[in-house]
Structure 1
Amino acid sequence: MKHGAIAILPLAAGAAVYGFAFGLLAAQVGFPWWGVALMSSLVHAGSSQIVAVEQFADSAAVVGAAFAGAALNLRYIGIIASLTEVLSGLSLRAKLLVIHITGDENWALTMSQRAKDPQIGVRFLIGSGLVMITVWTISTTLGAFVGSTLPNLEKFGLGFAFTAAFIAMARGLWRGHANLVPWIASFAVTIGLVTLGIPKAYAIVAGAISGLAVSHILRDRRKRAL
């Protein structure tokens, strides 16, 4: 576990920066610091928390905010499926705990390290995950506590921290030119629907489904060509 905890520190430092910014702006739209702390520790999904808070800020609709966050979290189905071998041998309770502390960063780091050394496994995932959930919870809570005492921070452009975080996440998920067309389709559908006034939660889901559909069509064509 120590190996994973140390290896994740550079990524944790980056997460702390936008976690603090998230906490600041969450407080600005009415979330109490303790609410942000609970969300970060119990949900532990940075990108979906950001989308949920932004949705809440736009419409104050709790259902819409939850739906937006859940839609973005659909990617975890694939992430957890990829950990089947890593989690083998654990009890159901242990698996659920490990899954809870698994995020984009420590999952990606674990899988990349495992590709180099097959001995890297669940202990690495747990060590890196514990560091990430601790850093994320502390940084977002601190940001919310500070944000509740300050004036409106949007005018300082801190909202761009969210955009920057998503750009960084997208870069980490890029796997080459094969992703280009599905990503363009997903972005085009999402942006188009938002422009038409469709709630962001529904636009995100529609964009994701469109990207998956295009990816499936292209994969089928490549198989037939072979």
Structure 2
Amino acid sequence: MTHGIKVGALAILPLALGAAVYGFAFGILAAQVGFPWWGVGLMGALVHAGSSQIVAVEQFASTGPVLGAVFAGAALNLRYVGIVASLSEILDGLSLRKKLVAIHMTGDENWALTMAERAKSPDVGAAFLLGSGMVMISVWTTSTAVGAAIGAVLPNLERFGLGFAFTAAFIAMARGLWRGQSQALPWLVAAGATIAAVSLGAPKAYGIVVGALCGLSAIYLASRANEAST
């Protein structure tokens, strides 16, 4: 198992570098709205979900309701239900403690890499997932904490028009999740529903929840339509 962990840790390094960049940007902006560096690092280690953390910080920055941030983050991470389900065969045979650790360390990057490598070689399994996950969570936690420590001593970046970092991070993450034109419909439905909800006066966090639910509904209806046609 040690060999598999090492292989996974080395294989994920290029993706970890990309995560470090937007983790650093997130840390700076989080510090700018009042989060201490240790709080940002602790959030990275315990939550380990960049999109949810960005939504939460944006919500706090706009003095929005905490419950809205929680709901928005949960909606953004609904995909992990499917991701965890796809790991059932890989995690089979591990103790409950190791399964929970592996699930916590699983993110978009190391999950996708593990599944891609497993498609090439069935021998790739839990060790590879754990090794790559250890690197990702370590890099994410460290980069966000370092970014926050530096951001705390910088002037207010909003004055220089650098508040776009949150949006840029979201675009980077969304681009990594894009799997082709076949996914265009749920993305468009989610975007349209979110824009409509915010335009009608709903808080941004609730708009994200509405958009996510509508996007999921579009996926479900499209799958049912495909089943009916076959």
Using the size of structure 1 for normalisation, the TM-score is: 0.94
Moved more, 103-112 or 200-209: 200-209
Instruction: Give the aligned partner of residue 14 of structure 1.
Output: 18
Structure 1: which 5+ residue stretches go unaligned?
none
Q: Deviations over 1:153-209 (max 9, x none)?
A: 123344333323322322332233221111111110011212222112211111111
Percent identical among aligned pairs is 67
Q: Distance in 2 between matches of 1:119 and 1:159?
A: 45
Distance 2:162 2:141 in 1: 19
Q: Please state how far the C-alpha of 1:39 moved relative to its aligned partner.
A: 0.4
Aligned partner of 2:119 in structure 1 is 115
**8 Å contact from structure 2 (residues 71, 209) kept in 1:** no
Secondary structure of residue in 2 paired with 1:59: coil
2:78 corresponds to 1:74 = yes
In the alignment, structure 1 residue 28 sits paired with structure 2 residue 32: yes
Higher mean Cα deviation, 120-129 or 154-163?
A: 154-163
- Deviation, 1:75, is 1.6
Provide the C-alpha distance between the structure 2 equivalents of 1:75 and 1:39, rounded to a whole number of angstroms. Answer: 20
State how far apart, in whole Å, the 2-side matches of 1:73 and 1:9 are: 23
> Corresponding residue for 2:58?
54
1:84 is displaced (CA, Å) by 0.5
Measure how far apart 1:40 and its partner are: 0.7
Q: What SS does structure 2 have at the residue aligned with 1:120?
A: coil
Could you tell me which runs of 5 or more consecutive residues in structure 2 were left unpaired when the two chains were aligned. none
Length-normalised TM-score, structure 2: 0.93
Report the residue type matching 2:190 in the other structure. S
Alignment partners' CA distance in 2, 1:217 and 1:145? 46
CA RMSD of aligned residues (A): 1.4
- Match in the other structure for 1:217: 221
Amino acid at match of 1:103: G
Distance 2:163 2:151 in 1: 13
Match in the other structure for 2:132: 128
Moved more, 1-10 or 169-178: 169-178
Aligned residues: 226
2-side partners of 1:133 and 1:111: how far apart?
18
